[in-house]
Amino acid sequence: MIIIMLGAPGTGKGTIAGLLEGKLGFKQVSTGDIFRKNIQKQTELGKLANSYMEKGNLVPDDVTIKIVEDRLEQPDVQNGIILDGFPRTVAQAEALDKILEGKGKKIDMVLNLTTPEEEIIERVVSRRVCSNPECKTIYNVIMNPPKQEGICDKCGSELIQRKDDNEETIKTRIATYMEQTSPLVEYYKNQGILKTEEVSQRINRLAKDVADDIESEITC
């Protein structure tokens, strides 16, 4: 099964994808994590990706598509995959459709998350991520703080704040999303595979609620 996570930064894509991975056993694959690993290792790809990401811009399609295509060949995603952060443009979506068609596969669900912008900004600047690349658990110091400040509940590693998790960058990222990525909503709506969910304190519906409902829908 192939699930795609859509939504502006801070809507909960990574959190819900992680919950679904635990519930359904499908591997969560985040292009952002792939890029960050390369940035940490100072690879050529990492340096290129960082030149875009640190400004809140998207990494070019040809680079991102190649990375995802290679990832889809790996054995741990053959039974199911949750794509978090890809595709982000219609060109990427069309490329993904062609890649999957060649493998005799298709996208089963596109989960589109929405959240009011003021909530997104608050969430992002309050977000902390486990520094252990094998864990990557996400916390929020206001809504979902760790039991011990600065320490991951699950593995005991240090929690960090991503360099791009600041108000100025997130506003740029939201604007970029609206310009380049939101047309994907219409693209997948026309294919009949789009499911839109609001994740917001305003309606008391958070990531766990959405993940529980998606699990029930898939397994029933």
Residues taking part in catalysis: 13, 88, 127, 162, 173
Element (H, E) at 198: strand 194-198
Q: Are 25 and 80 in contact (CB under 8 A)?
A: yes
DSSP 93-127: HHHHHHHHHHTT----EEEEEE--HHHHHHHHHTE
b/e map 58-86, b = 16+ CB within 10 Å: bbebeebbebbeebbeeeebeebbbbbbb
Pairing type for strands 27-30 and 81-84 reads parallel
The amino acid at residue 121 is I
Which residue, chain included where needed, has tokens 């795609």? 4
DSSP 45-81: HHHHHHHHHTTTPPPPHHHHHHHHHHHTTSGGGSS-E
Pairing type for strands 109-114 and 194-198 reads parallel
